Amino acid sequence: MTDHAPLPSMFGRFSAVLQEHDHLRTTLGRLREMCATLEESSELPPDLAPEPLFDELFSDLKSHFASEESPAYFGTVVDEAPALAPQINTLKREHIDMLMRIEELLGVAQDQQRWGTLPHPTRQFVAILERHERAESTLLRELFFPPK
């Protein structure tokens, strides 16, 4: 049996953030289901109630973004590839914008009479977050496989 050297801790941090992405995908799936149900009916099962979903998303993203913006994650990227700093700054600004959007959606979610207006801006938000996550993946590819 061959002993393998442990991966550098940087890989562990990146793996942990990627696991958070998986959890976020689950939450986004529930939001999509909420949207589809609201488009068909004004009745929602309790597990698709908008306020708790947006509360959970806000909490998860706030924590997730803090992890990414830490010196151990984005800081490591900048240390290893300073040319990626402008992309990281853009991603950080997007974090702020996305948290503000969730707060707006949460305001609507708190008023059941306004739930019917949630599908369109929620789908827009999901698309923005997915585009953002792809940009982060591209950033990591550029870190590990820099263009020649």
For residue 10, what are the CA distances in angstroms to 90, 95, 136? 22, 22, 16
42 and 116 in contact (C-beta within 8 Å)? Answer: yes
What pLDDT digit, counting tens, does each position of 67-93 carry?
889 888 888 889 989 999 999 999 999
- What fold, for 9-144? Four Helix Bundle (Hemerythrin (Met), subunit A) (1.20.120)
What percent of the residues of the chain are helix, what percent strand, and what percent coil, each to the nearest 5?
80, 0, 20
In angstroms, the CA 51 to CA 110 distance is: 6
> What is the separation of C-alpha 15 from the centre of its chain, rounded to a whole number of angstroms?
15
In angstroms, the CA 139 to CA 133 distance is: 10
Q: 140 is written with which tokens?
A: 């990591």
Per-residue pLDDT, 115: 95
Per-residue pLDDT, 143: 86
In angstroms, the CA 142 to CA 81 distance is: 9
Name the stretches of the chain with pLDDT < 50: 1-8, 13-14
Q: 82 is written with which tokens?
A: 């300073």
Per-residue pLDDT, 92: 97
Sign, CA dihedral 129-21-89-59, equals positive
Q: Rounded to two decimals, what is the model's pTM?
A: 0.84
